[in-house]
Amino acid sequence: MNNILGYQNENVVVTGAASGMGAGCVQRLLEVGANVYALDINDVDAPVSKSIKVNIMDKESITAAVAELPGEIFSLFNCAGVPCPPAPTYNTMMINFVGMRELTRQLLPRMKKNSSIASVSSTAGMAWRSNRGNVDTFLANDSFESAAAWLQTEEGSAISADAYAFSKQSMIVYMFNNAAELARRHIRINTICPSPTESAFTEQMAEIGLGRDITDFFTPPNGLYATGSDMGDALVAINSNLFRFVSGCLIPVDWGYTAEITAGQRDNLLNISL
């Protein structure tokens, strides 16, 4: 029973590990005996197996980070992300999706049988159905280089104008598109959509005038804000052996907000759907 989650002595990779949900993941993974490899552009204070500086916007930096990781990976946690604004549109798309996709691809050959991937999307990403055509246009730029180039075209700039939501929609559709192929390789992939979470992210949002007076519209029916640890725990659970038959799932972690929307009990301000 001590290793019911399956992480003991297993190698796991966490991006965005220095703060917020990534830091929450790291803390719980250390407690359950994982060998944690922490990736972030900032310093990671936790006593991980290895902390690696990486600029997820830079393919060479990603490749260099991957070269420092072990040859076999049990779980990948894609937690790195920035809000837009204040981050520029291009940076947001590169950090929140393009870099995430590149890192995931480079690590797939190292993912062991029955391994798992969990990524952090957003409630805003759950409007993916109404924007599927634009997301598919973007995802057709299948390489790091072509995606980066497309984002700097006039078409790319127009489509990705709401960069935060678009990056998170892209993450969700990417998961759906790849779930079957990864299942054939015995690799699970899931994505969570958090409700508002207290973190450096929300502090940045407040600095540009998107404080609680705005985010309160999207809190759960109990009015609570999550913590990074709340979301970190959900990610650790989803990537664990307890969820061994769960893959290709878009999972709201919002204490009933999406349920209210689906039941028609609350205004659907973001046009979201499951």
Question: Domain containing 45 — which CATH number?
Answer: 3.40.50.720
| Residues 190/117, Cβ–Cβ less than 8 Å | yes
pLDDT score, position 189: 98
Residue type, position 227, single letter: T
pLDDT score, position 213: 63
Q: What are phi and psi of 8, to 5 degrees?
A: -60, 120
How far out from the chain centre does Cα 232 lie? 11
The answer as to whether 182 is a domain residue is yes
Q: Specify the number of domains making up the chain.
A: 1
The answer as to whether 2 is a domain residue is no
pLDDT score, position 198: 83
The answer as to whether 1 is a domain residue is no
| Residues 106/66, Cβ–Cβ less than 8 Å | yes
Structure tokens at 172: 């969700």
pLDDT score, position 200: 59
Low-confidence ranges of the chain (pLDDT < 50): none
pLDDT score, position 210: 56
The answer as to whether 78 is a domain residue is yes
CA dihedral 226, 230, 234, 240 (to 10 degrees): 170
The answer as to whether 274 is a domain residue is no
Nearest to 98 by CA among 56, 60, 53, 69: 56
Beta bridge partners of 49: none
The answer as to whether 4 is a domain residue is no
pLDDT score, position 204: 57
For the entire predicted model, the pTM comes to: 0.95
The answer as to whether 269 is a domain residue is no
What domain range includes position 251?
11-262
The answer as to whether 271 is a domain residue is no
**Which pLDDT tens digit goes with each residue over 175-211?**
999 999 999 999 999 999 999 888 655 565 555 555 5
- 72 by Cβ neighbours in 10 Å (0-12 / 13-18 / 19+) ranks as exposed
